[in-house]
Structure 1
Amino acid sequence: MCGIFAYLNYNVTKDRRSILEILFNGLKRLEYRGYDSAGISIDLIIISNNNNNNHRSPLVFRQEGNIENLAKSVFQEVASIDLNLEESFSVHAGIAHTRWATHGEPAPRNSHPQSSGPENEFLVVHNGVITNYKVLKEMLVRHGFTFESETDTEVIPKLAKYVFDNTNDGEGDHSMTFSQVVFEVMRHLEGAYALIFKSKLYPNELIACKRGSPLLLGVKELTDTVSNGVSINEVKCLIKNGQPKELFFSSDPQALVEHTKNVLMIEDGEVVHLKDGGVSLLKFDHEKTKSGGFARTASVQRALSTLDMEVEQINKGSYEHYMQKEIYEQPESLTTTMRGRLIRGGSCKAKSVLLGGLKDHLKTIRRSRRIVFIGCGTSYNAALASRPFLEELSGNIFQLLTGLPVTMEIASDLLDRRGPIYREDTAVFVSQSGETADTLRALEYALENRALCVGITNTVGSAIARNTHCGVHINAGCEIGVASTKAYTSQIVVMAMLALAIGDDTISSRTRRDAIIDGLYDLPNKVREVLKLDQEMKDLAKLLIAEQSLLVFGRGYNYATALEGALKVKEVSLMHSEGILAGEMKHGPLALVDENLPIVVIATHDVCFSKQQSVIQQLHARKGRLIVICSQGDSALVCTGGSCRVVEVPQVEDCLQPVINIIPLQLLAYHLTVLRGHNVDQPRNLAKSVTTE
């Protein structure tokens, strides 16, 4: 979704060109989130002729298209007004934004920052959706405000101007502080948002707040300059002092890591005010203040955390695209995900799994009436791939002969239905980012119903990680490509380990459990082996480059593989593709089969193998154009009675086979996209983190 970045330097001299470069570079780190326009705001110093005092007048630049278009237009405009790029500032506040259109088409007037009016008294960048913007807009129009855009965001700076005008005397006496203005604005807003405010009326100050959308503060505090440069003081807590510092706001840690690893994950309802080199953290209670009167706030004391991320992780290295890099990082991401969690034991010790984030809650999970997996898109597919194994191993005191019931919920559908969630349930929330809007709303719903809530995310400190009772960090590493690859396979491995941990007290499954643990240890090597199919999948992509549609059939453990493989193809290559449960083939999909439509059938060796052989025969009988993914050495078994293209993959334990089987389809989607000339890392209309509903 939309990307937010802001930069404030305090007692650190920066020229205007450097400030622009920092803002542009921050936006470039957010490009992968998806966007269609961008904008920034910096200051112009105006010298008064009367008393030689100067004041700040914000300059706003907005442009449709990519960040390169914005940068080009900014430097052209700067040259046309003869603005000095070498002018230095010891204190300066700049804001920047990438927009993914929701209200209003991609155009400069709809881009951010949005303004309170021609004088730019208040400027706002926004990630999220204001659900009551129409009511606010009607009120502001009645009070003489004119709107220039179709966005919901424009009501925010205009509301700030309205609040300011009605609480100050109009003669420069600011009886209301900047933070008080923002509190009053927040009191009237409904919906999801992360906001940064900049104002010429409060120069050199920035205010950020959030409700439902991610936002972080980065703090880089500097000591005195030394002979070899500037040394960084490791900030352990938020303190007000006059030390030189650089402060950053961002909707994503990847825009911060090259500047600092000291960050504050801003919580819902928190307001962060940057002023005079200090950081004030205040808590806004929306429920207690929406009834009327001035907003109530309280000061908050919280320590900074340290980003577990390196600059090298956000670079492509020798790869052409992030998606390609992340496909090839899967052996390492799986190893990291399992490190320290698998205990192989010795000659006398049993093999086991240690999930530290769950150890105090395993008994409760085992006593649950059911486990409910909740996710969206790829995360939902990963949970679906793991469901059979969880059902197999998770027997409890209520199900003496069978496993614990495991149900699946797409987060948005659960919310639409207000589906049943009980206090005896264990609700598992799966999200790569930990900030997915629908999944977060579903988490709130489950907490209201007093279920035990477990988080499985790839982002430490994310909203889901903070608000669930317990959880497991995937440890897949930074994933920048919009199409999730390594996070998906690591999610499956985490949920396999979750099943092993839940069923750890089941003696009857010991042999099966030991085999799975051995399979997990060897899984990264098997993934390296299947990655050698890269050229074969590229050759296949060349044959499919002109096709308009693709079907993918799977069942059992690999029904999820069919869904996820089809999702990868459609989201990046823009080819229509559909994942189909093979058991449903005769209930409609068979009508589509002819000699032209390419069909992928996943038929690796598991309990459904003979059924998939039957599916292949029926597709052959209708002259289907088949691509079969099968286990090594099974070509003759899957392609009897007709011709087909076979892709052989290594055989592993059946519950781990989806990790292997998805990789050829990831490679196929990648090569199809590149061959068709599309941007593989920024698919049309899609964003990495869906942070608004």
Structure 2
Amino acid sequence: MCGIVGYIGTQQAAPLLLEGLTRLEHRGYDSAGVAVLGSGLRVAKKAGRVRDLSAELPKRFSGKVGIGHTRWATHGPANDVNAHPHVDATGDVAVVHNGIIDNAAALRERLTDEGVELASDTDTEVLAHLIARSTADTLEERVAEALAAIEGTYGVAVLHADFPDRIVVARNGSPLIIGVGEKEMHVASDLGALVRYTTTVAHLDDGEMATVTATGFTTYRQDLTQVQRAATEVDVDPASYDAGEHESFMRKEMLEQPAAAERVLRGRLDERFGTAHLGGLNMDARETREIRRVKILGCGSAYYVGQMGASLIEELARIPADAEAASEFRYRNPIIEHDTLYVAVSQSGETIDTLLAVQEIRRKGGRVVGLVNVVGSAIARECDGGIYLHAGPEVAVASTKALTNMFLGFALLALQLGRVRDLSISEGKRLIEALIALPAQLQEVLDGEDRLAEIATGLAQAESLFFVGRVRGFPVAREGAQKFKEISYRHAEAYQTSELKHGPLALISPEVPTVAIVPEDELTDRNVGALHEIAARRGPLVVVTHPDVDLRGLDVQRIDVPRSARELDPILLTIPLQLLAFHAAQVLGHDIDKPRNLAKSVTVE
């Protein structure tokens, strides 16, 4: 949510800021703005898209130092005044801010009592005034003094007309990255805004600040004691952040799933011993055997794939495992057990709810590992170890290839946990054989896109849908409903198939389709029986199933996916649901990559 960019160097800042903001549009926003330092400080901001801001930017908007922002409204509506950057009363200080200032109301009241006229409804504006009212000698001291007065989360970048040779940035709970160029420096909240210019970056940790000049950067704590923060090279192809020939990032990323699956498995499968090698967990076999429980934490799709992962771990390793919404975890004062392995799941590695849960676990002495897609992200740095997903950059808000690689990450974890316990070598080899075959099976499902597009056209006309499944199929149904609602804006609700007769069956009608997950397993007959109950009430049925499942006597739209090992079936059953959601949204004419009210990286609670 929200995005920050900054530039200082030898080029005109405004075009680079606008380009960077465009590359952050996937994070979700409702207004945009830039500030540049040239002959004084100048600010331009606008509700709407970056292109709207660009169209209204004055022709003479010169300056070689600047900051920019895309805002996702929290305090106050989306309008020109509430857009960032925010300035002080004299127009000498400009601030952009991601996060939420919890004590903003008290600070606004204090500033008003002191005679300050606040122009906006936002929490961020108080920062600009606090910095401007400081009498400290340096900009760094003024920013540190202002930050000491606030409570909450922030990633901030600050310009001051009296200090035109620098940008001061700070982080606490919201990501900030410094990009190192040749006689120029960049600042961003997301790597995607930087990769066209540099792949040499430094990540700030929580509680850190930095001074960025055209020739380098200096990092320090909020008490202004210096800390060493070296820049490193990130292995990323800038072309990965372009949709290329595809009409949307989501379609591009769906089609990349077979290749992404191969990457996450590469070098991690030991066919000789029927196990997985996950050196990044930083646990030896003895430590692994001491684990008695696994708790998985994630939000949204990461939570649902965590439920799939919990099932994998219980089946293969025979360890109690469950998944929980990370956003709720720390608020119930959880009991942290020394023999429990906690697993934090996040595509971006910056999801604030999940990051706070990780910090709560570590404060209480628990062991936590991460399943993340972004090297150097906050969650990756906070965890004791982890599994990088190697999905490549994922830009669309709706997660597809990262979700698939999360599932495969859990499969690898479950295999390694199982093999140090009671999972036999023959069972391990069976799983490995199925994992090796999986990328080709993913491609087989994607090749059926035309048929799925036809079915989606019909589903798009419904105002409300059910997604149902049992045991392994229920998290699949939850993820399917999530995808459908977030990009098609149709109401979609997931239930256990067994729960239909305990309430939801009352809503079944010809106007309410049901998408049912019916794998060939020990519950096939019961699942098919539930389909007959829906059909008896004239509910339209779309069934995602396996080729050998007998659906005779039922009027359904059938979607067959190839069989894998029973433990791996959920991910193959999930892929058609991605395509159904995508094509339904396309039929309805929605902006698929930027669904309303949502953001790619959720960095505020």
| TM superposition score normalised by structure 2 | 0.98
Q: Of 265, 271, 279, which residue of structure 2 is paired with 1:344?
A: 271
Among 531, 536, 554, the residue aligned to 1:642: 554
1:477 offset after TM fit, Å?
A: 0.7
Letter in 2 for 1:22: L
Instruction: From 220, 244, 248, give the equivalent of 2:181.
Output: 220
User: Could you tell me which of 36, 40, 54 is aligned with 2:34?
Assistant: 40
Question: Deviation at 1:563?
Answer: 0.3
- Residues 385-394 or 264-273, more deviating: 385-394
1:59 aligns to what? 42
Asked if the contact 2:26–2:594 (Cα under 8 Å) also holds between the matched residues in 1, the reply is yes
Does 2:75 match 1:103?
A: yes
Shift of 1:70: 0.1
Instruction: Name the CA distance, whole Å, in 2 between partners of 1:416 and 1:276.
Output: 43
Residue 93 of structure 1: aligned partner: 65
Alignment of 1:590 with 2:502, yes or no, is: no
Contact 2:185 2:213 in 1 (8 A): no
Q: Deviations over 1:160-216 (max 9, x none)?
A: 11113xx4xxxxxxxx11111111111111101000000112112110000000110
* Residue 52 of structure 2 is aligned to residue 24 of structure 1: no
Q: Distance in 1 between matches of 2:282 and 2:52?
A: 51
After superposition, the CA RMSD in angstroms is 1.4
1:652 aligns with 2:570: no
Task: Give the TM-score normalised by structure 1.
Answer: 0.85
Asked if structure 1 preserves the Cα contact closer than 8 Å seen for 2:101 and 2:151, the reply is yes
Q: Write the distance in 2 (CA, Å) between the matches of 1:161 and 1:365.
A: 54
Alignment partner of 1:692 is 2:599: no
Give 2:201's match in structure 1, choosing from 240, 263, 285: 263
Structure 2 unaligned residues grouped into runs of 5+: none
Aligned residue for 1:70? 53
Aligned runs of 1:276-291 on 2, under 5 Å?
277-284=215-222
Give the equivalent residue in structure 1 for 2:144.
Answer: 183
Is 2:496 the partner of 1:524?
A: no
Q: Is the 8 A contact 1:456 1:491 kept in 2?
A: yes
* Residues 292-322 of structure 1 deviation map (CA, whole Å, 9 limit, x = unaligned): xxxx331112221112211110011111100
- Code of the residue aligned with 2:102 in structure 1: it is T
Q: Kindly name which structure, 1 or 2, has the bigger radius of gyration based on alpha carbons.
A: 1
CA distance in 1, matches of 2:215, 2:426: 61
1:624 and 2:542 matched:
no
Shift of 1:128: 0.3
Segments of 5+ residues of structure 1 without an aligned counterpart are 46-56, 168-175, 222-244, 285-295, 395-402
Assess, with a 3 A threshold, how the Cα gap between structure 1 residues 278 and 2 changes in structure 2: closer, same or farther.
same
Q: Quick one: distance in 2 between partners of 1:326 and 1:276? A: 36
1:141 maps to a residue whose letter is T
SS in 2 for 1:506: coil
- Which letter maps to 2:191? P
Amino acid at match of 2:257: Q
> Residue 281 of structure 2 contacts residue 384 of structure 2 at CA under 8 Å; is this kept in 1?
no
Matched, 1:163 2:134: yes
* 1:116 alignment counterpart: 88
1:206 alignment partner in structure 2: 167
Corresponding residue for residue 557 of structure 1: 472
How far, CA to CA, are the matches of 1:382 and 1:202 in structure 2? 48
Measured in 1, the distance between the counterparts of 2:461 and 2:419 equals 50
Match of 2:583 in 1: 671
Q: Secondary structure in 1 aligned to 2:455?
A: helix
1:325-359, Cα deviation, whole Å (9 max, x unpaired): 000000000000101101223xxxx2221111025
Residue type at the aligned position of 1:40: V
SS at match of 1:59: strand
Is this contact kept in 2: 1:41–1:96, CA < 8 A?
yes
Task: Tell me the alpha carbon deviations over residues 606-662 of structure 1, each in whole angstroms, 9 at most, x when there is no partner.
Answer: 22222211211222222221111111243xx12x33311111111111111111111
1:334-373 mapped onto 2 (5 Å cutoff): 334-345=261-272, 350-373=273-296
Shift of 1:511: 2.6
SS in 1 for 2:281: coil
- What one-letter code is carried by the residue in structure 2 that aligns with 1:27? L
**1:258-407 mapped onto 2 (5 Å cutoff):** 258-275=196-213, 277-284=215-222, 296-345=223-272, 350-394=273-317, 403-407=318-322
Contact 2:345 2:371 in 1 (8 A): yes
- How far is 1:361 from its partner? 4.6
1:489-528 to 2 correspondence within 5 Å? 489-528=404-443
Identify the range of structure 1 (651-660 vs 271-280) with the bigger mean alpha-carbon deviation. 271-280
Taking the aligned partners of 2:406 and 2:102, their CA distance within structure 1 comes to: 33
> Conserved in 2, the CA contact under 8 Å of 1:358 and 1:472?
yes
Q: What does the per-residue CA deviation read over 1:223-246, in whole Å, with 9 as the maximum and x for residues that have no partner? A: xxxxxxxxxxxxxxxxxxxxxx11
Is the aligned partner of 1:132 residue 2:103? yes
Is the CA contact (8 Å cut-off) linking 1:620 and 1:641 kept in structure 2?
no
- Contact kept? 1:41, 1:61, Cα under 8 Å: yes
SS state of the match for residue 433, structure 1?
coil
In 1: Cα distance, 2:531 partner to 2:98 partner: 48
Output the amino acid matched with 1:97.
Answer: H
Q: Find the residue that maps to 1:282 and give its secondary structure.
A: strand
Instruction: For residues 462-502 of structure 1, give each alpha carbon's deviation from its aligned partner in whole angstroms, at most 9, with x where no partner exists.
Output: 11100111111011110000000001111000001000001
Distance 1:417 1:204 in 2: 47
Indicate conservation of the 8 Å contact 2:38/2:65, yes or no: no
Q: Structure 1's 310 and 371: CA in aligned 2 closer, same or farther, altered over 3 A?
A: same
Q: Deviations over 1:17-66 (max 9, x none)?
A: xx321111000110000110000011342xxxxxxxxxxx1110010100
CA distance in 1, matches of 2:363, 2:522: 40
**Aligned counterpart, 1:7:** 7
Maintained 8 Å contact 1:361/1:470: no
CA deviation digits over 1:345-393, x for unaligned, max 9? 3xxxx22211110253553343123111111110011110122220122
For 1:443, the aligned partner's letter is V
2:354 maps to amino acid: T
Letter in 1 for 2:283: D
Q: CA deviation at 1:422?
A: 2.1
Q: Could you say what secondary structure the match of 2:509 adopts?
A: coil
Name the counterpart of 1:473. Answer: 388
Give the number of equivalent residue pairs: 605
Aligned mates of 1:25, 1:642 — CA distance in 2: 53
2:211 counterpart SS class: strand
Is 2:296–2:324's contact at 8 Å kept on the other side of the alignment?
Answer: yes
| Paired residue type of 1:393 | L
Contact kept? 2:185, 2:216, Cα under 8 Å: no
**Greater mean alpha carbon deviation, residues 452-461 or residues 591-600:** 591-600
Partner of 1:145: 116
- Counterpart amino acid of 1:559? F
